[in-house]
Chain A
Amino acid sequence: MTDQEIIELVNSSLAEEFELELADMTAETTIYDDLGLDSLDTVDMVIVLEGAFSFKIREEEAIREIRTLGDIHAFVIGKKRQLEAGL
């Protein structure tokens, strides 16, 4: 998957799960203030991303630092590349 395909899959998965408008989803969009997600939603977000990308990320510390959609994109791209490299 290219980076762009990963970004599109992240956005479409979150848009479907949280009933968001794709047009409102940019890298700068904050997940709490702009998208209106709460702390429980971040748990759901992890489950949705795990389902979409077939990996396990719920134990990853870096998830706690996520504030924007761009952070999610970077995290998922990094994780995919890590898995592809067999790390």
Chain B
Amino acid sequence: MNKAGRVFSRNQRVYSPSAILMNLTVYPLIVLWTLLGILLFPPAFLGWKLVTRWDADRIMRHFIWIYGRVWMLILSPFVRFERQGLDQKALATPAVLVVNHLSFFDTYCMAMLPVFDISFAVRAWPFKMFFYAFFMRLASYLDVESFTYTQSLQAGDQVFRKGGSVLFFPEGHRSRTGDLQRFYSGAFRMAVESKIPVVPLCITGTDTLLPPGRYWLQPAKIVLRALPAVSPSRFEGPAAHILMRKEVKQMMTENLEELRG
């Protein structure tokens, strides 16, 4: 739904004046903001470090969150963002955050979260984007495709010990249909082995904004809903992570159906 209340579907390509204006303005502004961010980064990083004395990865994660917030600001004339259940007090931290995956924009929409100290668990290919790779490594993002499971678990533990959270897209890939795909187990094994709760997140609308395989942006309403945290202590035995994965997926399926009406 755009601001005028019209509903667009993921399969519709809209060439309305607002969509044309959106494509003419959003992409240049995002490129400009990215370049500006890279230029401003060194002095901002040093200044932040001197003032806060935070660890480098925490500062970087904060900067990435701010970077995402500005993306949202750039998109805001054309996109309505709605947060549900994202009360900072209700959102358990540290946590293993799991979110469904619909679009390239999903990662930037994680700036809708009220917390910034999040390390993303990502596949190997984003680390090949030279303009992002340095920052992702500095933020201690988890390269789950290149790491062994033990390395991922240790990296996750380091993030949890400092009070941060780790975010997974458990489907591994963007959904081409909008339906949840099968969930990989990594996030749930990490939660069970590190004794950290899983907070399921459901996102809708980013596949209308920019579905996989397209470059044409279109106005959308994006909803990010946090579901109640799921404690790993409720699951026992060697199949604990499998049971947890199935329960979380069921919760997300029901909530996504509700969000899509």
Contact = CB atoms under 8 A, between A and B. Distances in A.
Contact of A18 (B148, B182, B186, B241): B182
B122 interface: no
B149 A41 contact: no
A38 B184 contact: yes
B9 interface: no
Interface in B149-171: 149
Nearest to B189: A40
Contacts of B184: 38, 40-41
Contacts of B242: 17, 44, 47-48
Interface residues of B, number: 12
Give 9 closest A-B pairs by Cβ, nearest first. A19-B182, A40-B185, A47-B239, A44-B185, A47-B238, A40-B186, A40-B149, A44-B242, A18-B182
Interface in A24-51: 38-41, 43-44, 47-48, 51
Contacts of B182: 18-19
A39 B149 contact: yes
Given A40-B149, A40-B186, A47-B239, 7 more contacts: A18-B182, A19-B182, A39-B148, A39-B149, A40-B185, A40-B189, A48-B242
20 contacts: A17-B242, A18-B182, A19-B181, A38-B184, A39-B149, A40-B149, A40-B185, A40-B189, A41-B184, A41-B185, A43-B185, A44-B185, A44-B241, A44-B242, A47-B238, A47-B239, A47-B242, A48-B242, A51-B239, A58-B238
Contacts of A41: 184-185
Contacts of A47: 238-239, 242
Q: Is the interface of B mostly helix, strand, loop or mixed?
A: loop
Q: Which residue of A44, A48, A51, A58 has the most chain B CB atoms within 10 A of its CB atom?
A: A44
Interface in B216-245: 238-239, 241-242
A48 B239 CA distance: 8
A39 B153 CA distance: 14
Interface of A: 17-19, 38-41, 43-44, 47-48, 51, 58
A9 B56 CA distance: 51
Contacts of B238: 47, 58
Contacts of A43: 185
A51 B149 CA distance: 23
A47 B148 CA distance: 20
Nearest to A46: B238
Contacts of B186: 40
A44 to B, nearest CB: 5
A52 B149 CA distance: 26
B191 to A, nearest CB: 13
Nearest to B246: A17
Nearest to A39: B149
B211 to A, nearest CB: 21
A44 B186 CA distance: 11
Contacts of B239: 47, 51
Contacts of A38: 184
Nearest to B148: A39
A47 B188 CA distance: 15
Contacts of B241: 44
